[in-house]
Structures are given as structure tokens and as C-alpha cells.
Copies of this chain bind each other. A is one copy, B any other.
Amino acid sequence: MIEIIDLNKTLGDFRLRNINLKIEDNEYFVILGPTGTGKTVILETLAGMYKPDTGRILFDGKETLHLYPEQRNIGFVYQDYMLFPHLNVRENILFGLKLRKTSHEFMEKKLDDILKMLNIDHLEKRYPATLSGGEQQRVSIARILVLSPDIMLLDEPFSALDPRTKQEFQSELKKLHREFKTTTIHITHDFNEAFALADRICIMNKGEIIQVGTPDEIIYHPVNEFVARFIGCDTMKNVKITAV
């Protein structure tokens, strides 16, 4: 379980304000919000990039303040991929596994599965600088999937994919989640995606949490006008269909 208690973090003019969140084990948690509201900052704080100014973050009840990023067993997919430019696709994906002293066969098997699942087996020897946006994004996802981390932090993981590919991966991800129940926090702008995947959704605005609830709660009982307007756009009609 992830508990965020009274978290405050100031970065320049921006401030995350009084964030309180409880994310259950195995939950698929989606964060929605306009651009620049602090979604990425929350994930980075969870992962250990920033120290909170005040407030606490607990993983399974344990204080994380003094845990290094590598002790949190988190998988992070960055909005802009952040592949290692000096490593090819294969090396990028195996980066984490190699640190974990797994057997060679296991590693190869896993790599193979993931490459196939994400349709990037032909890119194995390529370097990130030569990949298209969507290709980079898939490598970035593969890099954490091979590790089966305790917690997955996905920052707009499908933004560079075309709808077909996106849908494929969404269902794949859903399947994986059902199977392994990895706690997942997923940032997206795509309502379809949010409502298709989420156990619960969190709506943020200007550094604050506005509402947390199941997709149905959000749709049928928005707490205020902002939420209603934010999700109440044209796509909504469509959303209701897909979400239920």
C-alpha cells in the first residue's frame, strides 16, 4: 500500500499542496489533470527524485524518506522516454535485469516475450537516436516490464502510439495487471484510456487533488464544476460506453 500524507513540495513558483492519497496494493490508479498540474512531480517524488518539503510517503507502512530510488523497487516510464542513448534497445531493456543476477536463459526468455508483446523485436540492435517516438516509448515500457517491479509509475506511457497500438497495449497491460496485480499509477490525458484501465481515478488541478473515486463516481458524481467540466467534454459520451 502506498500512503501519501500531507505532502507539500515547492518547485520554483509551483507547489504541490497537501496531497493525501492512499493507493491499495494491486490497485490500478490513474491520475488525470490539465497540463502543468503536478502529475509528473508527484510520480517523481514517489520515486525518490525529490525530497518532500513536508509530509510523509509510506510504502506498506514504512517511511520512505531515507530510501534511495533503487531501494523502492519502482518502475518509472517517463513522458519523454529517457532511454539511455549509449545503449541499444536490447541493452536498454536488459539494464535492470542484469543488475539482478538472474540466469541467462531466464533473461533471454523474458526479453523475447517482451519484445514480441510490444512489437519491437526488429529493433533489438538499434540505438535510441534512430527510433521513432512510438518506438522509443515502447522500449521505455519494456525496460520496466521485464523487472516486474512492486510499483509501476507510468507517465503518459501511450502518448506517442497510434490508437490501434495503444489499444493493444492497453488490453495487454490490463491482462498483466490482472495476472500479477502490480500496483500501478498511470498518468494520462486520454479519458478512454483512464476509464478503460482505472480501478480508481484521481483528478488534479493546480497542484491539488480535486477528487478521487472509481470511474463511475467521477462520472456520475463529480465533486465540483471543475471536474464536471474537465471530464464533461465531447468524448464523454463515448467514455461511458467503453467504461462500463
Contact = CB atoms under 8 A, between A and B. Distances in A.
Interface in A129-146: 130-135, 137-138
A69 interface: no
A237 interface: yes
Q: Give the most central of A126, A164, A166, A233: most B CB within 10 Å.
A: A164
Contacts of A190: 163
A36 B134 contact: yes
A138 B34 CA distance: 13
Contacts of A33: 162
Contacts of A80: 80, 133
A235 B79 contact: no
Nearest to A35: B134
Interface string A5-37: 000000111000000000000000000111110
Contacts of A134: 34-36
Contacts of A214: none
A160 B12 CA distance: 22
- List the number of copies, as a whole number: 2
B164 A160 contact: no
A163 B233 contact: yes
Nearest to A12: B130
A156 B165 contact: no
Nearest to A190: B163
Given A192-B235, A235-B192, A35 B163 contact: no
Contacts of A166: 189
A84 interface: no
A78 B134 CA distance: 14
A133 B156 contact: yes
A159 B162 contact: no
Contact of A167 (B13, B160, B167, B233): B233
Nearest to A196: B234
A132 B165 contact: no
Given A11-B130, A163-B191, 4 more contacts: A79-B160, A80-B80, A156-B160, A163-B233
16 contacts: A12-B130, A13-B122, A34-B134, A35-B165, A39-B132, A80-B133, A156-B160, A161-B189, A163-B190, A163-B235, A164-B229, A164-B230, A164-B233, A167-B234, A192-B235, A234-B242
